[in-house]
């Protein structure tokens, strides 16, 4: 756990995870790359552009990826510095990395520049979907479900905006008038019109026409929230002042969506942690087997912290939970350090008692 925490801090993985989650929600997929930085002698975790990743899997099992290719572009001097090759006069160079469990290939501008054994023994990429389609490797963006409602909402609001703009600049209507010249619509102007003619201003808001557009826009907005599985109350619009179980039922679609995403992210993060530990083991010689880790997710809804503390206290006292597990569930940043400090305080208290 200490090794993972050091890698987490060195790579600022909290920010990287946040940026990666945005990419995943918008693009439909995201990825991590875990490698060893020989210059800094540490594990480096990055988030490559998933739009430049290509994956091959065995038969009908998308979980068994046997080859991954990453395509990106670099400046000529950057490629020389990164890959220890002669500098190129070209402004940009196309780079393709091809990884399998056994081999590594580097292609520059379509030509094979390097072919070697894979130094890690595994493909150093973790590719995971936003929401996986049935029997598919690649995922689906969150924007797909709300794209059409958003377009329709944009059209509806544009129509309503046009109506309100015309109502602020009213249209003059002249009935039974065959000719008209220099008619100005402004305060204090007197019009001379023939007998039996009529002049008035066109009221586009008459008869509640604007309210129909507002109701239609609200209907589209509700449809968008339903398709996105994000109730309006998730944005703070809790008119009924719901709380507890009632609020949980109101937000149930969002909670289930978060739960589905956490299943996918949890597997990806555990795989990333395993890669980190395997690379550290190979470079430092320290054993980290069996490379297991547990992902502790924070609650989506506000929780009664005092009740949670009481429950964990009873579980620790009865031997069901360890102190480390309880500290993790209570969102303690570093359970090991906290436990060490507690032991130090207990030891100091015992020594003071003995002196007395």
For every one of its 356 residues, what pLDDT tens digit does the chain have, with 9 covering 90 and above? 788 889 999 999 999 999 999 999 999 999 999 999 988 889 999 999 999 999 999 878 888 899 999 999 887 677 666 776 666 666 788 899 999 999 999 998 888 988 999 999 999 999 999 998 888 899 999 999 999 999 999 999 998 888 888 777 777 777 877 776 666 666 777 777 777 788 777 777 776 777 888 899 999 999 998 998 888 888 877 777 777 778 788 888 989 999 999 999 999 999 999 999 999 998 888 888 888 888 888 888 777 678 888 888 898 889 888 888 888 777 777 777 888 888 888 888 777 666 55
**Distance between CA atoms of residues 146 and 77, nearest Å:** 43
- The residue with tokens 């989650």 is 21
CA atoms within 13 A on the CB side of 174: 13
Per-residue pLDDT at 354: 61
**Distance between CA atoms of residues 345 and 288, nearest Å:** 30
**Distance between CA atoms of residues 78 and 91, nearest Å:** 10
Q: Which residues contact 117 (CB under 8 A, 6 or more apart)?
A: 102, 103, 104
Q: Is 301 exposed, middle or buried (0-12, 13-18, 19+ CB in 10 A)?
A: exposed
What is the residue-wise DSSP string for 293-352? ----PPPSS---HHHHHHHHHHHHHTTSS-HHHHHHHTT-S-HHHHHHHHHHHHHHHHHH
Per-residue pLDDT at 180: 67
pTM higher than 0.85 for the full model? no
Per-residue pLDDT at 246: 81
């Amino acid at each position: 756990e200490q090794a993972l925490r050091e890698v987490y801090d060195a790579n600022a993985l909290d920010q990287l995870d946040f940026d990666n989650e945005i990419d995943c929600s918008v693009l439909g997929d995201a990825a991590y790359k875990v490698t060893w930085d020989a210059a800094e002698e540490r594990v480096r975790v990055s988030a490559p552009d998933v739009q430049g990743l290509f994956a091959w899997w065995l038969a009908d099992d998308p979980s068994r990826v046997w080859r991954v290719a990453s395509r990106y572009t670099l400046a000529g001097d950057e490629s020389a510095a990164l890959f220890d090759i002669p500098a190129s006069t070209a402004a940009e160079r196309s780079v393709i990395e091809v990884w399998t469990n056994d081999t590594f290939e580097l292609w520059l501008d379509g030509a094979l520049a390097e072919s070697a054994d894979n130094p890690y023994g595994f493909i150093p990429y973790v590719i995971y979907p936003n929401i996986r389609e049935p029997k598919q490797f690649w995922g689906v963006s969150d924007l797909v479900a709300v794209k059409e409602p958003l377009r329709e909402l944009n059209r509806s609001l544009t129509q309503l905006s046009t109506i309100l703009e015309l109502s602020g600049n009213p249209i003059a209507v002249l009935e039974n008038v065959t000719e008209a010249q220099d008619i100005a619509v402004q305060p204090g102007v007197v019009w001379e019109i023939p007998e039996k003619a009529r002049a008035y201003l066109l009221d586009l808001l008459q008869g509640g026409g604007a309210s129909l557009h507002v109701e239609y826009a609200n209907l589209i907005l509700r449809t968008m929230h339903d398709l996105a599985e994000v109730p309006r109350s998730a944005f703070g619009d809790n008119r009924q002042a719901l709380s507890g179980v009632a609020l949980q039922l109101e937000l149930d679609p969002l909670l289930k969506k978060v739960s589905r995403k956490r299943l996918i992210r949890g597997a990806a993060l555990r795989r990333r942690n395993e890669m980190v530990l395997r690379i550290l083991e190979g470079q430092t010689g320290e054993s980290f087997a069996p490379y297991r880790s547990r992902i502790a997710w924070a609650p989506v809804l506000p929780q009664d912290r005092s009740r949670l503390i009481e429950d964990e206290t009873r579980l620790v006292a009865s031997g069901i939970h360890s102190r480390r597990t309880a500290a993790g569930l209570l969102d303690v940043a570093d359970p090991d350090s906290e436990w060490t400090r507690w032991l130090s305080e207990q030891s100091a208290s015992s020594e003071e008692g003995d002196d007395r």
